[in-house]
């Protein structure tokens, strides 16, 4: 088991780039295919808290599903976290967890300070 975890979508270019970046730096992260194994609402809240982000800052509001669900950037945190837990496609990706912190790897270099 690694001390680094990535919430990964193998179909996403940015997610693949982040995984390659970690491996190029000599890390073999645990990979969570979050679309198949979605994080709980509490796990999402914990990740947001660790990053100092609001729910909307962890989301993909341009994802068609966001509008289809009638969501708004001004919805309460509870609504947005519940939406991400129920619809993991809404979660911004990839998210990297290390002992030094949690980051959304956009750009990939954003994770350098937690490696």
At 71 the pLDDT is 98
Residue 27: count of CB within 10 angstroms of its CB: 17
pLDDT at 79 over 90: yes
Domain CATH code at residue 45: 3.40.30.10
Domain enclosing residue 105, as ranges: 5-114
pLDDT tens digits for range 27-54: 999 999 999 999 999 999 999 999 999 9
CB contact burial 49-77 (16+ within 10 A = b; e otherwise):
eebebebbebbeeebeebeeeebeeebee
The total of structural domains in the chain comes to 1
Residues that are catalytic: 12
Q: Decide if pLDDT at 2 tops 90.
A: no
């Amino acid at each position: 088991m690694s001390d680094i975890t990535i919430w990964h979508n193998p179909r996403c270019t940015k997610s693949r780039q982040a995984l390659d970046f970690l491996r190029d730096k000599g890390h073999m992260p645990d990979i969570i295919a979050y679309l198949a194994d979605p994080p709980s609402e509490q796990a999402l809240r914990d990740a947001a808290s660790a990053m100092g982000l609001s729910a909307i800052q962890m989301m993909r509001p341009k994802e068609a599903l966001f509008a289809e669900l009638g969501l708004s950037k001004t919805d309460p945190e509870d609504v947005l976290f519940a939406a991400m837990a129920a619809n993991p496609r809404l979660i911004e990706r990839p998210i990297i967890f290390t002992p030094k912190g949690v980051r959304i790897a956009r750009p990939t270099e954003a994770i350098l300070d937690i490696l």
